[in-house]
Amino acid sequence: MITWVKIDRATGLLAGARQVLSPHFDARPAGVLPELLVVHGISLPPGEFGGPWIDRLFTGTLSADAHAYFREIAGQRVSAHALIRRDGQIVQYVAFGERAWHAGHSAYRGRTGCNDFSIGVELEGTDDTPYTDAQYEALAALSAALLTAYTSLAAQAIAGHSDISPGRKTDPGASFDWVRYRQLLDQALRTTTRG
């Protein structure tokens, strides 16, 4: 059980995370609170893990020349609130109270523009590579911390990017084990409530 995951609600920052703050964010619409947690998968270049490229994409510093694939995506103004690397390390790009630019064209239960009312967490991985034990543990701990810090969130309102952008996005993919994540989250929430 990861116990160091704690969110400062005043700043929206996560203690224990590596902070790589991105310029790719803005304010949520007035009066709108985070009500949805979105799970994503990403790897750069696709299928490769461990490089500095995700940090660079999300901070607008990705060089189009570093890899053929980057020519397609360099210059995109995208971000997520956090990334969980293969070893379970959490990187935070955007304060949770702000609007990160992770969902794109999207709808959840008929409500469009999911960036407005969601928190986006990326897992470093692909649709068909199993995510790591450390990632499941970190995601469950982070999710429990978010649900505790933001009572507008709910354990019932957690979706994959593919759920809110069907036909356009496939992440986190069939490799993401929702049952396992749900079980770990339930455990983490019981621990959090007791604490």
Q: Closer to Zn ion by CB, 2 or 173: give it.
A: 173
Q: Which residue has the tokens 């759920």?
A: 163
Residue 35 or 171: the one with the smaller Cβ distance to Zn ion is 171
Shortest distance in whole angstroms from residue 123 CB to Zn ion: 10
85 or 161: CB nearest Zn ion? 161
Q: Point out the catalytic residue in the list 48, 98, 122, 137.
A: 122
Question: In the window 112-141, what residues touch Zn ion (CB under 5 A)?
Answer: none
Task: Tell me if 40 contacts Zn ion by CB under 5 A.
Answer: yes
Q: In terms of CB distance, is 148 or 176 closer to Zn ion?
A: 176
**Interaction with Zn ion in 154-183: which residues (CB under 5 A)?**
161, 171
Is residue 81 involved in binding Zn ion (CB under 5 A)? no
Q: Which of 172, 179, 79 is nearest to 126 (CA)?
A: 172
Q: Is 24 in the site for Zn ion (CB under 5 A)?
A: no
For the record, the structure tokens of 171 come out as 């992440």
93 Cβ contact list (under 8 Å, min separation 6): 20, 21, 22, 24, 25, 55, 58, 59, 79, 80, 81, 82, 83, 100
Q: Which segment (37-45, 66-74, 89-97, 126-134) binds Zn ion by CB under 5 A?
A: 37-45
CB of 171 to Zn ion, least distance (A): 4
Please say if 122 is a catalytic residue.
yes
Contact 121, 72 (CB under 8 A): no
Residues that bind Zn ion (CB under 5 A): 40, 161, 171
Catalytic residues: 122
